[in-house]
Structure 1
Amino acid sequence: MVTVTRVPVKLRPNPQRVLLRYFSPGEKARIEHILGRILTLSEEEVAEHLSSVSARFSHHESYLKERLSRHFERIRPYLFLDAELSEERKLFIGSFFTSEYSIEASALFNPSIVPHPDQSGLPEGAVRFVLSLRATGEGHISSLVFREGVFHPDGRVTVEESGARYVLPPQVIANSTYNKREFIAKLTEAGYYNEYAELLLSPLEEEFGYRDLIRRIEELREATPTHTRPFLGTLEAIEWLASFNQEVYFPPDVPIDRRVIPPATVVDLKGIEDARFVRFVDERGAVTYYATYTAYDGTSFSPQLLATKDFTHFRFISLTGKAVKNKGFALFPRKIGGKYCMLGRQDNETITLMFSDHLSFWNEYRIILRPKYVWEFIQMGNCGPPIETEAGWLVITHGVGPMRHYALGAVLLDREDPLRVLGRLRDPLLEAVGEERAGYVPNVLYSCGSLLHEGRLLIPYAMSDYVTSFAIVQVDELLEELLRCGP
């Protein structure tokens, strides 16, 4: 048996943490009716009511004005006026199309953890970390949120709990850049690289900007008198691919606990789920934090990728290929044999291993682990990116058994040939007990990543898809048990 020490820290969902988001009350006619009523008010009445709104939502500070202005611009096309409106009236109109959204009203769970880019000012033996969490609110819509914390030499874990009432979404970089060769490859994989796509992309540089692409699309639309179905379908696919593979950023003065990445595209309309962050080091020693996550559109799931170097600037990267399906993908922290390597699950039951020359394209996979023990008979999956040790790649897994009971396990893969399994726990490493069994989804214990530091493995885990806590395991003890159990 492996000794597991639970840490007396619990991160609970806080319904007071809200995001200002665009609110649509209905169809075009209803929007026009609302605008018509607002336009009948005098400037004095507008100023009086706007003052009341500003006072009631003053906890959003200067961010309130920026959001109201942005949301006014979204409905400006519904206004048929020649006269310019006052700034007060624009903001007041924007308030009718804005609402507060409690991002973690339902749950704060499925954590992932990586070393913080900034390790300054710490006592010897401590490590600062970034914790990412899945925050779920109204409508079971999931967003990505962050916390900072420290793993202390004496085993204590401290997490900077946020007292902020409001959180901020990232701003979209207006002119994201794209590599033409990679863009064409993704269109080809999706079946949309044809004569229309070639006509559109051929004049663009090898590195082109979003504005250049949109300008080219508009030129082709204007120059084509007959909009054939293939033509329109191709343009829509190109626009979607460009809008998804965009860059976003947070102003550097926004604390990390106030940063939230909510759903923003048709692919993740209903949720950004279960991000698995990894500190990836390339051949030159450059560090990038990648997160594989599940995008949910309300009907289907698709694995996607997020990249950042500082948790301020992020880039969305679409994943394509025959092996990109199902959920729970986890990237290795470095290349193996000159190739990217990733764990996944393509059949709802097993753990697979994939290799690729390119981070965005995954076509081949091999099954390396199948359900073997009763506690994993329903399905297996990884619980975060593999962790490199002298003995091999340590992978925390999950298994689902009777009564849909989730438990964590562990396997050990060969460092040079991760297709080779060296060890596998016969019994769960960690499972829900006592109060951990009660929550949003009972009897579930789950994690999306662990942190190895000075011989100890810090495992953040979610209990019953509701609250997040931590556990500590001595790595040498775990590795010894894995090798004793064998494959």
Structure 2
Amino acid sequence: MLDLVHDALRLHADPSRVVVRPFHIAWQSNGQAPSRTERLVREVLEMSPGEARRQLQSVLKDFEARHWQTRRVFMSRYDDIARLLSLDDANISDEKRQLIGAYFCHEYSYAAAALMNPSAVPHFDQSGMPDGSLRILMSLRAVGEGHISSVAFREGIITDDNELYLAPEPPFATAVDTHGDETTIPEGPVTVHRHRDSTLSGTVIFPITRAQSNGLEDMRLVQFTHDDGSVEWLGTYTAYNGSQIQSELLRTRDFRSLDLVPMTGSAARNKGMGLFPRKVGGKYMMIGRQDGENLFLIQSDTITHWDEGELLLRPEYPWELVQIGNCGPPIELDEGWLLLTHGVGAMRKYSIGAVLLDKDDPSQVIGRTTRPILAAANEDREGYVPNVVYSCGALRHGDRLFIPYGVADSSVAFAFVSIGSLLGVM
């Protein structure tokens, strides 16, 4: 019998969660950006001190209470523009600098439409944790205006008594940004930086490159241990530009600077790649769905290049006959690699199951659940996309599995399951 406990907490979309984002005129201006930027700055510099003060006070009246460190954000944006235009700040007042910065920012409601598809990993800071407790870090897919997806984070603590405590969200969120060229949209690998004073629970990663322009979707975080024993947090996700998808990799060791790296190879054209948390047999390994229907095991000598893999699992049971995929990176147990899966059945109803792979040879399937371990219940079937439960990554804590999961592409729920009971139903 499956020992599954649902937590009462539920996270929902919230249009009041807004963030101040840099407004990069050059990225939207079809070659007219320099003159447009110069014109805006010139207009502010030509204002009288009194007019500049009135305009800044009007902006602050509208937005200062809605955002954290608003004046500092404006000053940071001014610094970006000043570098672009080689401004001589000596005779520019702080009020005019802040006002210039305000013209190059905008407000965005990043989770107005949906909040879904979380993944969980151990937090990089475990200081002060009592026995039986683990500090965790979750990524979530937040969907805002224009159905643009971004990556949000939440920190919390889980206990061995099936308890979840989320750290409070700060009243204001901040967006990561590049420290680069203001005049062109970044391409290829890009490094983004978290604001020096913001918490992770108040940080959002928005699309940066052209390949990401319509969204960053379904990050699968994993705490990866390299051969030398060093630890890096990696996250596979889908970059979408409105017509094409591309698998990319987030890389960070401190969650202060984060590299967003496009992956190469024929397998990287697909969604939903889940990375093993260490090498197996000297190879990096990934679970993917290269044909949109079945699960494949992919091996590589390079963590950012992935070619075709070998067929691992086909749909077999009624609740997964349409297609199967992974629900996050494999989790290492003494018994083997535990892989959560999602299956799509009749009426495109999504359910979550599990398989156990051999520890030394993950191409060998040891066990598989014949029935879902999680499915949409009557009270949570409705939402942005009905009849869906979906996770991008569970977390082992002692003898239990912590499973955060999306419900109907609209909210996020949480469950704990005994690993022993889960293995027992395979």
Same fold (TM over 0.5): yes
**Matches of 1:283 and 1:76, distance apart in 2:** 41
Matched, 1:286 2:293: no
Larger Rg computed on CA atoms: 1
Counterpart position of 1:275:
219
> 1:72·1:97 contact (CA, 8 Å) conserved in 2?
no
> 1:443·1:464 contact (CA, 8 Å) conserved in 2?
yes
Pairs aligned (count): 416
Does the residue aligned with 1:338 lie in a helix, a strand or coil?
coil
**Matches of 1:55 and 1:469, distance apart in 2:** 37
Matched, 1:103 2:110: yes
Counterpart position of 2:53:
47
Counterpart position of 1:20:
20
Counterpart position of 2:397:
453
> 1:352·1:365 contact (CA, 8 Å) conserved in 2?
yes
Offset at residue 73 of structure 1 (A): 5.3
**Matches of 1:72 and 1:357, distance apart in 2:** 42
> 1:31·1:78 contact (CA, 8 Å) conserved in 2?
no
Does the residue aligned with 2:60 lie in a helix, a strand or coil?
helix
Deviates most, 291-300 or 253-262: 253-262
> 2:19·2:172 contact (CA, 8 Å) conserved in 1?
yes
> 2:77·2:104 contact (CA, 8 Å) conserved in 1?
no
Offset at residue 446 of structure 1 (A): 0.4
Mind listing any 5+ residue stretches in structure 2 that lack a counterpart?
none
**Matches of 1:435 and 1:75, distance apart in 2:** 54
Instruction: Compute the TM-score of the two structures, normalised by the length of structure 1.
Output: 0.78
**Matches of 2:115 and 2:410, distance apart in 1:** 6
Instruction: Map Cα deviations across residues 321-342 of structure 1 (whole Å, 9 max, x no partner).
Output: 1221110001001111101000
Counterpart position of 1:429:
373
Letter of the 2:18 counterpart: V
Structure 1 pair 110/361, CA: closer, same or farther in 2 (3 Å)? same
Q: Percent identity?
A: 42
Structure 1 pair 64/105, CA: closer, same or farther in 2 (3 Å)? farther
Does the residue aligned with 1:244 lie in a helix, a strand or coil?
coil
Instruction: Compute the TM-score of the two structures, normalised by the length of structure 2.
Output: 0.89
Does the residue aligned with 2:409 lie in a helix, a strand or coil?
coil
Offset at residue 104 of structure 1 (A): 1.0
Counterpart position of 1:126:
133
> 1:18·1:165 contact (CA, 8 Å) conserved in 2?
no
Counterpart position of 2:172:
166
Counterpart position of 1:476:
420
Offset at residue 317 of structure 1 (A): 2.1
Instruction: Map Cα deviations across residues 374-405 of structure 1 (whole Å, 9 max, x no partner).
Output: 21122110000001112211100001111111
Offset at residue 78 of structure 1 (A): 9.9
**Matches of 2:98 and 2:68, distance apart in 1:** 14
**Matches of 2:271 and 2:341, distance apart in 1:** 14
> 2:64·2:70 contact (CA, 8 Å) conserved in 1?
no
> 2:292·2:323 contact (CA, 8 Å) conserved in 1?
yes
Counterpart position of 2:189:
245
> 1:151·1:158 contact (CA, 8 Å) conserved in 2?
yes
> 2:294·2:311 contact (CA, 8 Å) conserved in 1?
yes
Counterpart position of 1:4:
4
**Matches of 1:11 and 1:436, distance apart in 2:** 13
Counterpart position of 1:142:
149
Instruction: Map Cα deviations across residues 348-377 of structure 1 (whole Å, 9 max, x no partner).
Output: 111111001111111231111111122112
Does the residue aligned with 1:324 lie in a helix, a strand or coil?
helix
Deviates most, 429-438 or 306-315: 306-315
Structure 1 pair 133/313, CA: closer, same or farther in 2 (3 Å)? same
Bigger helix fraction: 1
**Matches of 1:39 and 1:282, distance apart in 2:** 53
Deviates most, 83-92 or 147-156: 83-92
**Matches of 2:363 and 2:59, distance apart in 1:** 60
Does the residue aligned with 1:440 lie in a helix, a strand or coil?
coil
> 1:113·1:449 contact (CA, 8 Å) conserved in 2?
yes
Counterpart position of 2:281:
337
**Matches of 2:75 and 2:382, distance apart in 1:** 40
**Matches of 1:40 and 1:252, distance apart in 2:** 33
Does the residue aligned with 1:457 lie in a helix, a strand or coil?
strand
Instruction: Map Cα deviations across residues 204-238 of structure 1 (whole Å, 9 max, x no partner).
Output: xxxxxxx9xxxxxxxxxxxxxxxxxxxxxxxx9xx
> 1:71·1:98 contact (CA, 8 Å) conserved in 2?
no
**Matches of 2:282 and 2:258, distance apart in 1:** 25
> 1:391·1:479 contact (CA, 8 Å) conserved in 2?
no
Structure 1 pair 246/77, CA: closer, same or farther in 2 (3 Å)? closer
Mind listing any 5+ residue stretches in structure 1 that lack a counterpart?
175-210, 212-235, 483-487
